[in-house]
Structure 1
Amino acid sequence: MSSTAFDVEAPEAVHENGARSRLAAALEHPAALWSVPALIYLFVRQVGVYVLQLVVDYQNELRGSAMTAMGELRSWDGEWFLGIAAGGYNDVPSRLADAAGRRTAETPLAFFPGYPALVRWVHGLPGVSVEGAGFAVSVISGLFCAYALFVLGRTVRTGSTAAGLVLVTLFAASPMAVVLSMTYSEATFCAFAAWALVGVVRKRWILAGVCCAAAGLVRPTAAALIAAVVLAALVAIVADRHDWRAWVGGLVAPLGLLGYLGWVAVRTGDLAGWFGVQQRGWNSKFDGGAATLKFAFEHLGNPRSELETGTVWLLIAAIVLVFYAFQRRLEWPLIVYGIGVLVMDLGSNGLMNSKARLLLPAFTLLIPLALVLARRRLSTVLTVLGLATLFSAWFGAYSLAVWQYAI
């Protein structure tokens, strides 16, 4: 572990310096390297679920409703994913509809197949319900993502074990990290994306290409990942044209996304079939950010709700983090990926209330914060991460149990 990790701010704090050294040694033990990232991730997410339960109970008393935390965790898009997992695209429950309340045979095609396919496989195990399978896939995916982020934090320039653990915590405590505990596809996508980027940084091109292709079957956000992986592979090929692994990784990377978009095109008889389903059902298309800019000015000039105003500030913070990533000289493929996710989020005119959630995959923008925070004294690190965990728990619980619109 880097000798600068969890640095002491006061020169007289000799005792804390010794404690830091002992902590550093403990974290380098193989058992710690395998267990601590998972334990941190599970603890932070459990805090989020616990706070959600508290808010649900309070709302039930206030409104006389009968909400449950588990019901909220499988709501909205989660119902679509579970429906596809249980019956495929042709047998999704008829009660589910798009944002306009309509439903056609093409409507379910808006949801990518990767996550429902994994849920279906787990559901095939004896005694496992489809809901249980959905939560299991999300939890396991989150753990795989946590390990990948831990590796990234150790691998990037000036990285360390401490930075990896801080990065895992920041990701698990992201403002909309509640979706990592839901029957949503974000945890699965982030797991594949994180391991693809580990492959890029470590120049393991087969790993990068395969994980990128898998991510393309989970979410359209894979377009940002494809850009990062393919560009990095091209740079490697220019440096060494005989690097066959870079050729394979770069060629395999876009196959998942292109494969699903092509399948939808054949099924709908329209080359832009998936985009048409999105626009007709959820009024979602790329408008260059015009709708987002209008939304931002409206809610900064006349705040109407905590969630919408908070969403605007989160978007602003993400833009600031891009510049900070350049300043900290983060590896350029990681910046390309983060910018790609942010551009896709800002440039879409779809549901504005989903924009905070759609920022979650931009986890590479958290790496510079993790690198800096890991060099502070331990008490500072724990305070910052504790506050982030509590804010994330409240923000996610409010979004699900109080806010009346989709996330």
Structure 2
Amino acid sequence: MPTVEAVRVDPDDAPEARGRPVLAAGHRVILALAPAVLYLAVRELGLLALRLMAARWDKDVSKALTSWDGQWFLGIAEGGYADVPTWLVDAFGRRTAETPLAFFPGYPTLVRWVDGLPGVPAVGAAFAVSLVSGVVCAYGLARLGSRVSGGSQRAGLVLVVLFAASPMAVALSMAYSEATFCALAAWSLVGVVERRWLLAGVCCAAAGLVRPTAAALVVAVCAAAAVAVWRRRDDWRAWVGGLVAPLGLLGYLAYVAVRTGRWDGWFAVQRHGWDSRFDGGAATARFALAILGEPRSVLELATVWFLVAALALVVLSARRGLEWPLVVYGVGVLAMDLGSNGLMNSKARLLLPAFTLLVPVAVALARRRPGTAVAVLVGASVFSAWFGAYAITAWQYAI
């Protein structure tokens, strides 16, 4: 009787085994693209809502996205501080040679560089800088969410969506400096958490050229670097990172001081042009009590509750053991927002950089069932889309 020899099959030669590298590569690609895709999807939802709302109020979408501060940034990008269009004035309808100095140079400088490319108009350059900055920020937040205590890859992606779906995230799609600042702040804080002090210091210094909110970032980075040096946990890089971090902010404040001839030049420009100063929160408290007692608009009432929610997130962050530099940064941003007597309608927008306060929420949602997390994130995205569209179309005043 003939014998049949058994044929040994190598497991690696099986069809399903040969498909594993392809699946693994596909999985890596999806994970690599996920932060950008999620961020852009949420922001596109916001822009879709804006187009619908703009049609309802007979407004031009592009003009809505370049309103108010956006006009100042475009003017500085096109003509520099010395040649801003004369029709741009401060809150009192005045204009001096120093008035444009209220706006930090980082964002308009980037816009000018992109505007210098062939065939790129200034408005398109402004939108491109905000778009790319938002995507860069998304990757920073994804990294941050995976590196914090209790964090994970999923928590990082949830954090990206929560940030893109912040109530006033429409500013991330405008000709405003928020997206650029948040990108630099996110990567600076990644450097702090990972103890990559040169990354932390350089990004912090760059952020100091974009927004005054960098003061909160400088405090967090310098404090973390100082503690690392004191505990002798790191080498010379902690020294360098801590020394470099404040250079951007201090450099621009010094430049304005020279231009105005007074040491507090930038603060003087803010006071004279916009009556903006730090009053310890007195104006914010009066505004909140007045609105809660007699609501005048959806935006103002929502702004008060956003501030209350931010305070609650500070408590949650402290109780959940969020890394203390991230808490310091978030508290600093909130303190600057609450403590200023500036335009009350802008306070919700000024909360955008306080994204570290969303980290405990992201970590908690990442541990929930996928269906629960998706439902919460979709709900937040829809609300953000509507509220942002309302804020720059139906609402008639600056944000």
TM-score normalised by length of structure 2: 0.93
1:27 Cα offset (Å): 11
1:96 Cα offset (Å): 0.7
Residue pairs, 1:346-365, within 5 angstroms: 346-365=338-357
CA–CA separation in structure 1 for the residues paired with 2:310 and 2:373: 21
Contact 2:205 2:249 (C-alpha < 8 Å) held by counterparts: yes
Secondary structure, counterpart of 2:167 in structure 1: coil
Residue aligning to 2:301:
309
Structure 1's 26 and 177: CA in aligned 2 closer, same or farther, altered over 3 A? farther
Residue pairs, 1:2-401, within 5 angstroms: 29-60=27-58, 67-240=59-232, 243-401=235-393
CA–CA separation in structure 1 for the residues paired with 2:269 and 2:214: 18
Structure 1's 55 and 259: CA in aligned 2 closer, same or farther, altered over 3 A? same
1:28 Cα offset (Å): 9.6
Contact 1:196 1:210 (C-alpha < 8 Å) held by counterparts: yes
1:404 to 390, 396, 399: 396
Contact 2:50 2:386 (C-alpha < 8 Å) held by counterparts: yes
1:30 Cα offset (Å): 2.3
| Structure number with bigger Rg | 2
Farther-moved stretch of structure 1 (124-133 vs 30-39): 30-39
1:206 Cα offset (Å): 0.1
Q: How many residues align?
A: 377
CA–CA separation in structure 1 for the residues paired with 2:40 and 2:25: 18
Q: Deviations over 1:136-175 (max 9, x none)?
A: 0000000000000000010000111110010000000000
CA–CA separation in structure 1 for the residues paired with 2:261 and 2:153: 51
Structure 1's 28 and 377: CA in aligned 2 closer, same or farther, altered over 3 A? farther
Contact 1:41 1:143 (C-alpha < 8 Å) held by counterparts: yes
1:241 Cα offset (Å): 7.7
CA–CA separation in structure 1 for the residues paired with 2:185 and 2:348: 18
Structure 1's 34 and 242: CA in aligned 2 closer, same or farther, altered over 3 A? closer
CA–CA separation in structure 2 for the residues paired with 1:326 and 1:26: 38
Structure 1's 129 and 152: CA in aligned 2 closer, same or farther, altered over 3 A? same
1:26 Cα offset (Å): 7.6
Corresponding letter in the other structure for 1:116: P
- Which stretches of structure 1, 4 residues or more, deviate above 4 A after TM superposition? 25-28
CA–CA separation in structure 2 for the residues paired with 1:58 and 1:88: 36
Secondary structure, counterpart of 1:29 in structure 2: helix
Q: Deviations over 1:243-266 (max 9, x none)?
A: 100000000000000000000000
CA–CA separation in structure 1 for the residues paired with 2:227 and 2:387: 40
Farther-moved stretch of structure 1 (26-35 vs 119-128): 26-35
CA–CA separation in structure 2 for the residues paired with 1:38 and 1:269: 45
Q: Deviations over 1:194-226 (max 9, x none)?
A: 000000000000000000000000000000000
CA–CA separation in structure 1 for the residues paired with 2:319 and 2:231: 26
Q: CA RMSD in A?
A: 1.2
Structure 1's 29 and 53: CA in aligned 2 closer, same or farther, altered over 3 A? same
Q: Percent identity?
A: 67
Q: Deviations over 1:180-203 (max 9, x none)?
A: 000000000000000000000000
Contact 1:137 1:188 (C-alpha < 8 Å) held by counterparts: yes
Contact 1:197 1:334 (C-alpha < 8 Å) held by counterparts: yes
1:177 Cα offset (Å): 0.2
Structure 2's unaligned 5+ residue stretches are: 1-22
Corresponding letter in the other structure for 1:87: G
CA–CA separation in structure 1 for the residues paired with 2:366 and 2:24: 16
CA–CA separation in structure 1 for the residues paired with 2:382 and 2:273: 35
Contact 2:228 2:234 (C-alpha < 8 Å) held by counterparts: no
Contact 1:150 1:164 (C-alpha < 8 Å) held by counterparts: yes
CA–CA separation in structure 1 for the residues paired with 2:322 and 2:261: 43
Contact 1:26 1:32 (C-alpha < 8 Å) held by counterparts: no
Structure 1's 310 and 26: CA in aligned 2 closer, same or farther, altered over 3 A? farther
CA–CA separation in structure 1 for the residues paired with 2:336 and 2:48: 32
CA–CA separation in structure 2 for the residues paired with 1:138 and 1:312: 27
Contact 1:166 1:370 (C-alpha < 8 Å) held by counterparts: yes
Structure 1's 367 and 242: CA in aligned 2 closer, same or farther, altered over 3 A? closer
Structure 1's unaligned 5+ residue stretches are: 1-24, 61-66
Q: Deviations over 1:255-299 (max 9, x none)?
A: 000000000000000100000000111110000000000000000
1:100 Cα offset (Å): 1.1
